Amino acid sequence: MEIRVEKGVAEKHPSELLLLFSFESPEPLEGPIKVVDREWKGFLSTIINQGDFKGELFQCRLLHTQGALPSKRVLLAGLGKKEEFDLEKWRGAASKAGQWIRDSEIKQFAVQIRSIRGFSEEELAESFVTGLLLGIYQFNEFKTLEREKIRRIEEAVLLGETGEEIGRIKQGIDQGLVISEAVCMARDLANAPSNRITPSALAEKAGEIAKDQGLGVEVFGLNEAEAMGMGAFVAVAKGSQEPAKFIILEYNQGKGMDPIVLVGKGITFDSGGISIKPADRMEQMKADMSGAAAVLGAMQAASRLQLPLHLVGIIPATENLPSGKAYKPGDVLKTLSGQTVEVISTDAEGRLILADALTYSLRYKPKAVIDLATLTGAVVIALGDYVIGLFGNNESLQKTVEEASQKTGEKVWRLPLWDEYFDYIKSDVADFKNVGTRAAGAIIGGIFLSKFVEKTPWVHLDIAGPAFIEKERPFMPKGGTGIGVRLLIQLLRDWR
Ligand code: BES
Ligand code: ZN
Ligand code: ZN
């Protein structure tokens, strides 16, 4: 779809469909819909007063203009209660309207962007584009039948009245495109099966991003990882025939600044290994690389937005499979940090590969390390699938993440990492075990990781809940969500 800005106003602009938003009645009409109503001799007011359109959140109603306006059709779209309006609702409303237009096979629409409740045209345009593109996202790559039935909107025109408005809308569109393309890339990576998205494919993707954006990229194979001493990463990778990759991307517009390192769990398929998982829903473990996908998305967006930062993205990528060469419960692994780990479950593989990746990240003397991982089923038990578990060792970094979370609507909730939890992973034969009790499972995952970041400010985001969903949400079709990408981008844009 092409999205562009044009000079114009709703009541004068010709289009296949004019999209008009309104708050829930009895709120009086305001903004473009009010002007259109006047132009249309109060027709919209009549419809609303009759109770045929209430403006409830995500409500859509189509009208034919019969020549009363330059546009052929009008879609009334509800924003819900005025006092509850925020950008999250706006993204949802843009998505729902977009889905409605697409499903009605209408190919083109126009919408006038005008400041609402103190939000600027730039913010509204960015969030409109984001909600729209994330809402109409479809993963069709592997469908070969009836491809002609795949519906697409071809063009969206965002109207601005004045030169300044147009400038702000343009800016918002550009940012919204960068953000949503990064999220859609992350979704594609999570939705694609593990026979397509192998560790090598992740490395290739990193290479493409690096090439397009002029980033540094380095990829180690298993031999190099072994020679470096990444005993935990290597142990997980050994069970698979698919070559493991340790991927590093670097973007440096930070002018001598110590980097922020983003680390993403890149398990391209998690069978559990010798501690094999039950078959039910095991197919969803193709998305166990969602942390890696978020890191790739954030690196791509940060460089496209030319953020004045020094960023390093690190992705340990491997499958976790059982085989004659696979690591086993009881094995003791020597991590890159020198610390040893007794394997209790080969299904707690994420923390093992992350342990080595976190240790590796310290070579950059980072001012902050943020890891994203579909680490535990336990975080889903604790917080459900709307929320990211937030852990860390640094108050101000955690606050920064929470602020970004509030702006993006990607919810985070803090869980503690008190020293007492460490007792659960004490081992009789090694420095720690990779598994503690079932109780506090998400925290134990976090406590384990904390042993590999020394004193560096660090945040761990357990995205196991929202990374892959079974029921659609306002601007998240079911499947891979690309969670974390918008959170990271917001955090990086606001970094000071
Ligand atoms: N990839 C899983 C966690 C997961 C579960 C992600 C559900 C998304 C949805 C992880 O590697 C895992 O298997 N964790 C174990 C840890 C346990 C053995 C301590 C778990 O959560 O059961
Ligand atoms: Zn696992
Ligand atoms: Zn896993």
**273 Rama sector, left if φ>0, alpha if ψ -120 to 50, beta otherwise:** left
CB 216 within 8 A of CB 311: no
What pLDDT, on a 0 to 100 scale, did the predictor assign at position 344? 98
- For residues 321 and 160, give the distance between their C-alpha atoms in angstroms, rounded to a whole number: 54
Nearest to 73 by CA among 19, 132, 122: 19
Q: For residue 374, which atom of ligand 1 is closest to its CA?
A: 6
What pLDDT, on a 0 to 100 scale, did the predictor assign at position 211? 98
Question: What are 232-266's pLDDT values in tens digits?
Answer: 999 999 999 999 999 999 999 988 999 999 999 99
What pLDDT, on a 0 to 100 scale, did the predictor assign at position 173? 98
What pLDDT, on a 0 to 100 scale, did the predictor assign at position 213? 96
Give the position of tokens 């992740």: 202
Pocket test for ligand 1, best of 347, 372, 380, 381 (most atoms within 8 A of CB): 347
Cβ atoms < 10 Å from Cβ of 170:
17
Nearest ligand to the CA atom of 273: 2
Nearest to 359 by CA among 341, 378, 332: 341
Domain locations in the chain as residue ranges: 2-177, 192-493
- For residues 198 and 318, give the distance between their C-alpha atoms in angstroms, rounded to a whole number: 8
What pLDDT, on a 0 to 100 scale, did the predictor assign at position 255? 87
Tokens matching residue 121: 């045209």
CATH number attached to the domain at 2-177: 3.40.220.10
CATH number attached to the domain at 192-493: 3.40.630.10
Q: What residue's CA is closest to ligand 1, atom 17? A: 348
Strands 60-64, 73-78: pairing kind: antiparallel
Nearest ligand to the CA atom of 267: 3
- For residues 477 and 187, give the distance between their C-alpha atoms in angstroms, rounded to a whole number: 10
Within this chain, domains 2-177 and 192-493 share the same CATH topology: no
Q: What residue's CA is closest to ligand 1, atom 3? A: 376
Angle value at C-alpha 419, between 418 and 420, nearest 5 degrees? 90
Strands 332-334, 266-270: pairing kind: unpaired
What pLDDT, on a 0 to 100 scale, did the predictor assign at position 127? 98
What pLDDT, on a 0 to 100 scale, did the predictor assign at position 356? 99
CB 36 within 8 A of CB 92: no
What pLDDT, on a 0 to 100 scale, did the predictor assign at position 164? 98
CB 119 within 8 A of CB 84: no
CB 347 within 8 A of CB 434: no
Tokens matching residue 343: 């394997």
| Cα–ligand 1 centroid distance for 377 (angstroms) | 5
What pLDDT, on a 0 to 100 scale, did the predictor assign at position 299? 98
Nearest ligand to the CA atom of 321: 2
Tokens matching residue 335: 């991590």
Which residues form ligand 1's pocket by a CB distance below 6 Å? 270, 288, 345, 347-350, 374-378, 435, 441, 464
| Cα–ligand 1 centroid distance for 245 (angstroms) | 21
- pLDDT tens digits in sequence order for the chain, 496 residues long: 999 999 999 999 999 999 999 999 999 999 999 999 999 999 999 999 999 999 999 999 999 999 999 999 999 999 999 999 999 999 999 999 999 999 999 999 999 999 999 999 999 999 999 999 999 999 999 999 999 999 999 999 999 999 999 999 999 999 999 999 999 999 999 999 999 999 999 999 999 999 999 999 999 999 999 999 999 999 999 999 999 999 999 999 988 999 999 999 999 999 999 999 999 999 999 999 999 999 999 999 999 999 999 999 999 999 999 999 999 999 999 999 999 999 999 999 999 999 999 999 999 999 999 999 999 999 999 999 999 999 999 999 999 999 999 999 999 999 999 999 999 999 999 999 999 999 999 999 999 999 999 999 999 999 999 999 999 999 999 999 999 999 999 999 999 9
CB 157 within 8 A of CB 4: yes
Question: pTM higher than 0.95, yes or no?
Answer: yes
Strands 310-320, 260-264: pairing kind: parallel
Annotated active-site positions, please?
277, 351
